[in-house]
Amino acid sequence: MFAEQNGERNRTIPNETKQIFQESTMTEMRFNPYQVRRAGLSSTQEAKILRYLAQGPTDRKSLARLFDLRLAERLEHLGLIVYRDGQVQITDKGLETLKQCIGDGRGQSVA
């Protein structure tokens, strides 16, 4: 939502992963709480943070406008995101976790 308006996302993501996230962000996507739990996250808000960061790195202030920073700190502790050079970025582990959260709609993960 915020990222789409600014158009400032330019992180390189593998093509198949990029396609999954573009399709999922174009429609109003809702995460299944059971898949989110299965992926190791405690809430759908954490999955939304990962989806937001999958579009590209952002600064802490922009992230704080949209999400609770305590959730972002938890994701950093889990190794799913990282603060680097003033930017918050999703890690490869975070992308894999996000893929598990998205799944294929039948309770199966796409990974």
The rounded distance, in Å, linking the Cα atoms of 43 and 36 is 7
Q: Is the pTM of this model over 0.85?
A: no
Q: For 53-96, how does the pLDDT look when each residue is reduced to its tens digit (9 = 90+)? A: 999 999 999 999 999 999 999 999 999 999 998 899 999 999 99
Domain positions in the chain are 2-6+14-102
Alpha-carbon span 54 to 50, nearest angstrom? 6
pLDDT of residue 68: 92
Residue 101 token pair? 């959260």
Looking at mean pLDDT, say which of 17-21, 88-92, 100-104 comes out highest: 88-92
pLDDT tens column, 29-56:
788 899 999 999 999 999 999 999 999 9
Pick the CATH number of 2-6+14-102 from 3.30.230.10, 3.30.70.1430, 3.40.50.970, 1.10.10.10: 1.10.10.10
